[in-house]
Structure 1
């Protein structure tokens, strides 16, 4: 049986990482790598080091899938992101450590201002008017 690698290119803040998990014949994690993404050519070299010359690759990344089709010894399958979300979980587990090691600045999200009390009051009144106008009927809009 061929070794199985689940790999994706995951984003953490502004940086991209190659996350690859090698599963053994028993279905348990045998090894994994999380490295800065330096292009698809480098990614295939790292995957070859991890899985050997002949392995199966599951990915949700279209570019990784496309490139793996051209590499001998890789039997690649494209999967839904939910099927290969192991890579996302792995990067989230050590996100703080990756931010510290690679000196990644956190992205600051702008907070939306709260609507004024007058606006909230008007929205509630308009919703009540709409409910009375619609009555007990269901209208499709």
Structure 2
């Protein structure tokens, strides 16, 4: 009978606060307890991979699992020796979103993130005019007969 040694699990994703991206890492120990959580401004995939590698080195873990919902992050992480990486559905990595929501106000203040102003809704007359101009443009194009 084979006994499986439980390894550390990192759930890693790139999360947003308005237009600002952050790398969020939640590291769980072999007992399933949250051992570490890191939230930093996202500086690119290579920096995120280094952050994960460094985090596991600090925790003295040479073999670990990583769950992510980000395909680009997944593609870069599979090159790390000792990392068992899985691309998961967003429902299985939702704890990274919860982590950033807990510190939402602090991050907004710390990094001086300005909220994105929503665009006003288009008035009815502008919407009708836009639709008419769009239909006219489609007729001028010949409904796909001509290359523009």
TM-score (norm 2): 0.72
Deviation at 1:4? Answer: 0.5
Match in the other structure for 2:116: 107
Q: How many residues matched?
A: 116
Superposed CA offset, 1:91-117 (max 9, x none): 1111111010011111111343787xx
**Residue 20 (structure 2) pairs with residue 20 (structure 1):** no
TM-score (norm 1): 0.76
Match in the other structure for 2:94: 85
Match in the other structure for 2:53: 48
Superposed CA offset, 1:22-50 (max 9, x none): 00122111111000111111111111122
Structure 1 unmatched runs, 5+ = 116-141
Match in the other structure for 2:7: 2
- Decide whether the 8 Å contact of 1:8 with 1:60 is kept in 2: yes
Deviation at 1:54? Answer: 2.3
Q: What CA RMSD, in Å, does the superposition of the two structures yield over aligned residues?
A: 1.7
Rounded to whole Å, the distance in 2 between the matches of 1:14 and 1:74 is: 30
Structure 2 unmatched runs, 5+ = 1-5, 125-148
